[in-house]
């Protein structure tokens, strides 16, 4: 199976069942344990989050004009890519055991990508078996050549002498070869986001909108999309016992509806509890993977409040472990679109209703905060603009994805678009407090049952958003964030400061566009 890569001597394990991967992890890997609930606990080593500054895309004539080059999509030469690939292969050739997993990305058959992952750690193989779609025996027998290959040699350092490589870590993608090379990072999330990046390149070419979002479906068939960066609540808020989960992170919207790219969920589990997030808590059982979570050395009970390893503790599990999941993970077109923002300044209201023009503006802007732990070096929430609520994974210009969203909003004019702040209120980070998850859930419940759209709204100054005067089970005084600050003059200054950040950011993306008129206005 791996002879074409010069891997002859290693024992190759193909699509092993989780039970055998458990055995291998316990036998061959340090810091691997079985938790009291039956999940496998593993360590990703030094890197406990993604390394976006080390991500590279090969600059090739076929895709060069498609890629939005810059701080996110940094170019790499074909020569440097081949050197990195050779480093990865030399590492893999030396291993006694190699794990190969053939999987699918995308539940829609016409858009499905055949992915082969080659790695040396059973922990990574288990992650892949959870996060992607596992072929049936018949599908595996007919799998053939993959469309995309991941060479995960994360335990081997990159060579900083290679042109374009600037650290011991290198995550490089070749869009023409459909190959991803991972060096210098054993963080499993690099694999799933690598394939997401590939889908963000392939799908728009088919006029399909790829989105960094979660999706769920009501009992009456109504569909909600929740877009947001890691840490804004996509996974938590989509796991609703009263709604069917389509997926928690990566989706595509085509002419027939919406489909999940993945076969599993990758939930943050800092301060996880059965009371606050019962669906996720109960999903952590045999077959699930806990990443960088501290365990009690005697009882093997996870301590989700101990963030001494990282604040980016994670749980990976098959989507079927969520009782309300809908499998196959496909659904119809959206009724509600929710933009999730984690506002570290405490300026934005808990919920706002957007016009279609504002929907485009806030989608392109992608305002949120980078939450500690999700990326290397981020220690506390930092205000940022991440276009389409997923800039680190987008290949084209944000305008490309915005145009595809605009087509959907025009085709389905009854869609309601909302901006929900899951960040701070009563002040910024360090002064205010995080908006209550209970209140956010109540707001989303009101969106789903249709009551919120029928409430009375008032104008939110500067940003000119519509905010409700009341929401069932939510204190009315918190709906206008200005009321929650002790010093309202300081709030006004902070609001103007954020508004200017929006205006300056949009100038970089599309200065002079009519969409800019939907943004904030400073007198």
Contact 275, 307 (CB under 8 A): no
Q: How many CB atoms lie within 10 A of CB 63?
A: 15
Whether cis (ω within 30° of 0) applies to the bond prior to 300 is no
Q: Which residues contact 495 (CB under 8 A, 6 or more apart)?
A: 347, 461, 462, 463, 482
Confirm whether 341 is a catalytic residue: no
Separation between Cα atoms, residue 217 and residue 122, nearest integer Å: 34
Half-sphere exposure at residue 335, Cβ-oriented, CA atoms within 13 angstroms: 16
- Phi/psi of residue 52, nearest 5 degrees: -65, -30
Annotated catalytic residue within 85, 251, 314, 466: 314
3-state secondary structure of 182: strand
Annotated catalytic residue within 56, 116, 124, 193: 193
Half-sphere exposure at residue 340, Cβ-oriented, CA atoms within 13 angstroms: 30
Annotated catalytic residue within 230, 316, 397, 425: 230
Separation between Cα atoms, residue 271 and residue 126, nearest integer Å: 24
* Residue 113: closest CA among 8, 215, 197, 170: 197
Separation between Cα atoms, residue 232 and residue 390, nearest integer Å: 12
Q: What is the residue-wise DSSP string for 109-151?
A: GGG-EEEEEEES-HHHHHHHHHHSBPPPHHHHHT--S-SEEEE
231 annotated as ligand-binding: yes
440 annotated as ligand-binding: yes
Confirm whether 296 is a catalytic residue: no
List the Cα angle 514/518/522 in 5-degree steps.
110
277 annotated as ligand-binding: yes
Annotated catalytic residue within 124, 212, 254, 370: 212
Q: Which residues contact 459 (CB under 8 A, 6 or more apart)?
A: 465, 466, 467
401 annotated as ligand-binding: no
Annotated catalytic residue within 114, 121, 178, 234: 234
Confirm whether 50 is a catalytic residue: yes
Annotated catalytic residue within 32, 43, 44, 50: 50
Contact 85, 58 (CB under 8 A): no
482 annotated as ligand-binding: no
Strands 367-370 and 113-119: unpaired
* Residue 236: closest CA among 68, 441, 511: 441
116 annotated as ligand-binding: no
3-state secondary structure of 154: coil
441 annotated as ligand-binding: no
Confirm whether 235 is a catalytic residue: yes
435 annotated as ligand-binding: yes
49 annotated as ligand-binding: no
427 annotated as ligand-binding: no
50 annotated as ligand-binding: yes
Contact 304, 270 (CB under 8 A): yes
Confirm whether 193 is a catalytic residue: yes
193 annotated as ligand-binding: yes
Tokens of 63: 């895709």
Confirm whether 234 is a catalytic residue: yes
229 annotated as ligand-binding: yes
Half-sphere exposure at residue 111, Cβ-oriented, CA atoms within 13 angstroms: 30
Annotated catalytic residue within 43, 169, 185, 235: 235
**Strand residue runs (E) in 175-285:** 179-183, 209-217, 223-227, 244-247, 250-254, 257-260, 264-268
48 annotated as ligand-binding: no
Annotated catalytic residue within 249, 270, 343, 445: 249
Residues in binding site:
50, 187, 193, 212, 228-236, 249, 277, 314, 434-435, 440
Residues in binding site for Mn(2+):
193, 212, 249
Residues in binding site for ATP:
193, 212, 228-236, 277, 314, 434-435, 440
Residues in binding site for substrate:
50, 187, 193, 314
Active site positions, annotated: 50, 193, 212, 230, 234-235, 249, 314
């Amino acid at each position: 199976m791996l002879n074409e890569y010069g891997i002859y001597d290693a024992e190759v394990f193909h699509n092993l069942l989780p039970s055998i991967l458990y055995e291998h992890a316990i036998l061959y890997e340090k810091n691997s344990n079985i938790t009291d609930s039956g999940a496998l606990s593993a360590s990703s080593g030094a890197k406990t989050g993604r390394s976006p500054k080390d991500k590279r895309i090969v600059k090739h004539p076929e895709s060069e004009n498609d890629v939005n080059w810059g701080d996110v999509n940094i170019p790499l030469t074909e020569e440097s890519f081949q050197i990195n690939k050779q480093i990865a292969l030399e590492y893999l050739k030396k291993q006694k055991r190699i794990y190969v997993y053939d999987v699918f990305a995308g539940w829609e058959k016409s858009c499905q990508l055949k992915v082969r992952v080659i790695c040396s750690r059973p922990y990574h193989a288990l992650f892949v078996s959870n996060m992607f779609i596992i072929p049936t025996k018949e599908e595996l027998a007919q799998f053939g050549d993959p469309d995309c290959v991941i060479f995960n040699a994360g335990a081997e350092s990159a060579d900083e002498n290679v042109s374009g490589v600037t650290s011991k870590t290198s995550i490089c993608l070749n869009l023409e070869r459909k190959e991803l090379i991972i060096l210098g990072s054993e963080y499993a999330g690099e694999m799933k986001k690598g394939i997401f990046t590939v889908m963000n390149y392939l799908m728009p070419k088919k006029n399909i909108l790829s989105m960094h979002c979660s999706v769920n479906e009501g009992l009456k068939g109504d569909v909600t999309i929740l877009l947001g960066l890691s840490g804004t609540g996509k996974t938590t808020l989509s796991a609703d016992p009263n709604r069917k989960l389509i997926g928690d992170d990566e989706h595509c919207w085509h002419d027939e509806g919406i489909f999940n790219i993945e076969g599993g969920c990758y939930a943050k589990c800092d301060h996880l509890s059965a009371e606050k997030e019962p669906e996720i808590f109960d999903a952590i059982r045999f077959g699930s993977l806990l990443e960088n979570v501290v365990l009690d050395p005697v009882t093997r009970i996870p301590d989700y409040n101990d963030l001494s390893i990282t604040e980016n503790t994670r749980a990976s599990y098959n989507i079927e472990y969520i009782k309300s999941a809908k499998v196959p993970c496909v659904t119809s077109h959206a009724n509600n679109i929710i933009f999730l923002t984690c506002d570290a300044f405490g300026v934005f209201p808990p919920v706002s209703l957007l016009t279609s023009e504002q929907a485009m503006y806030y989608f392109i802007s992608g305002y949120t905060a980078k939450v500690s732990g999700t990326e290397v070096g981020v220690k506390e929430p930092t205000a940022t603009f991440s276009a389409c609520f997923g800039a680190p994974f987008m290949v084209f210009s944000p305008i490309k994805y915005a145009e595809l969203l605009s087509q959907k909003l025009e085709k389905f004019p009854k869609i309601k678009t909302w901006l929900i702040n899951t960040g701070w209120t009563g002040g910024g980070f360090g002064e205010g407090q995080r908006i209550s998850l209970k209140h956010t859930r109540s707001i989303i419940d009101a969106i789903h049952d249709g009551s919120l759209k029928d409430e009375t709204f008032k104008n939110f100054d500067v940003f000119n958003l519509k905010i409700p005067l009341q929401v069932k089970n939510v204190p009315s005084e918190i709906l206008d964030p200005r009321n929650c600050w002790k010093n309202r003059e300081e709030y006004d200054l902070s609001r103007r400061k954020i508004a200017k950040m929006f205006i300056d950011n949009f100038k970089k993306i599309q200065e002079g566009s009519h969409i800019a008129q939907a943004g904030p206005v400073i007198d």
